[in-house]
Copies of this chain bind each other. A is one copy, B any other.
Amino acid sequence: MTKLNAITDLHSPARALRLQHLLDHKTKPLGSLGRLETLALQLGLILGTEAPQLTQPQMVVFAGDHGLTAQGISLFPSDVTWQMVENFLAGGAAVSVLARQHGLALTVVDAGVAHDLAPRPGLQLRKIAPGTADASQGPAMTPAQCQAALDQGAEVVRSLPGNAVLLGEMGIGNTSSAALLMARLTGLPIEQCVGRGTGLDDAGVQRKLAVLRQVLARHEQAIEPLQALAAMGGFEIAMMAGAVLEAAAQNRVIVVDGFIASSAVLVAQALQPLVLQRCVFAHQSDEQGHARMLSHLKAQPLLNLGLRLGEGSGAALAWPLLESSCRILAEMASFESAGVSTADGDISPGQGA
């Protein structure tokens, strides 16, 4: 696992001031680009420059299966996990389409799919086991498996170029794992963490809730982040948490997709809160626990489009906004350079007319 003390504090009042000065002198009313300006500031601090440039962005989709699906917590059968991996690689899934649109390299990681996937370009085979164990009967994974997944997640990041990673996932049943981790690590009641997943009706949500209550009770001793992750997490979530820690240590920009990707960040930041300095939360999902999870993380998501698909689709949709905020810093004229009068009516020195 990535050394936690390799993740340093990026807070730099001097650089923040210089970035703010640049933004404030662009030809626009002060602060009028809103969230795009705070994003530009954050990207400048992560990349350690007043001229942040995003290079070779990597969309990584971690896939894994969940033993807990035996308890009837999801609308879709587990086979959909590997079938969707095939779809990602064939280019027909939402994340494939959106990654192509925005020039994001797409890598799919078999973190623990319950199916043998044939090796091919764009697929990293890092299966810890063919699905987790049923968390209602015992821990989802052993401590050694959990550690291996964290290590493999770090390896995934090390294997990829660029200074930005977008994190997505696929795993039938994984809104349950995310809700369980959320309940345990935030202390919120489970009914505020659980949602419809891929589309459960009210009765389905009640059944899911009953199962999750049982899982939480069974693992009431699993208090520490990594204990909770091993007891109730998924291989794709653990591997994503490992990727978050490594990407943070390397000061890469981390674009976090929805509810499940955020749950991996929740684990990672419980180990090292400074990872949050590197995280850009792409969107607020329609999965009902996500708004509360983001609020717990003090995260301000970029989009709110009623998405609840996962895969990294929300991260891909938000990507052009990150590009825009870099371009604003790099390409917009200043009042001086463009010869535009400022708010107090002064004609700035560069004006020709």
Contacts and interface: CB of A to CB of B under 8 A. Distances in A.
A324 B98 CA distance: 7
Contacts of A33: 94, 307, 309, 313
A328 interface: yes
Nearest to A348: B83
Interface in A282-340: 286, 302-309, 313, 317, 320-321, 323-324, 327-328, 331-333, 337-340
Given A35-B305, A317-B320, 7 more contacts: A29-B198, A31-B199, A75-B343, A80-B341, A97-B331, A98-B324, A101-B323
- The contact size tier of chain A is 35 or more
Contact of A32 (B198, B345, B351): B198
Contacts of A343: 75-76, 198-199
A327 B91 CA distance: 12
Contact of A286 (B34, B86, B91, B339): B34
B80 A340 contact: yes
B75 A34 contact: no
Contacts of A93: 27-28, 332-333, 338
B29 A75 contact: yes
A84 interface: yes
19 contacts: A27-B94, A29-B75, A29-B76, A30-B199, A31-B199, A33-B94, A34-B286, A34-B308, A35-B305, A36-B307, A79-B341, A79-B347, A83-B339, A83-B340, A93-B332, A94-B332, A97-B327, A100-B327, A101-B320
A176 B341 CA distance: 20
Interface of A: 26-36, 75-77, 79-80, 83-84, 86-87, 90-94, 97-98, 100-102, 198-199, 286, 302-309, 313, 317, 320-321, 323-324, 327-328, 331-333, 337-343, 345, 347, 351
Which 10 pairs from chain A and chain B are nearest by CB?
A: A92-B333, A34-B306, A29-B198, A35-B305, A32-B309, A83-B340, A87-B338, A320-B320, A97-B331, A77-B345
A72 B93 CA distance: 55
Number of copies: 2
Contacts of A307: 32-36
A199 B32 contact: yes
Contact of A324 (B79, B101, B328): B101
Nearest to A285: B34
Given A320-B320, A323-B101, A341-B76, A333 B29 contact: no
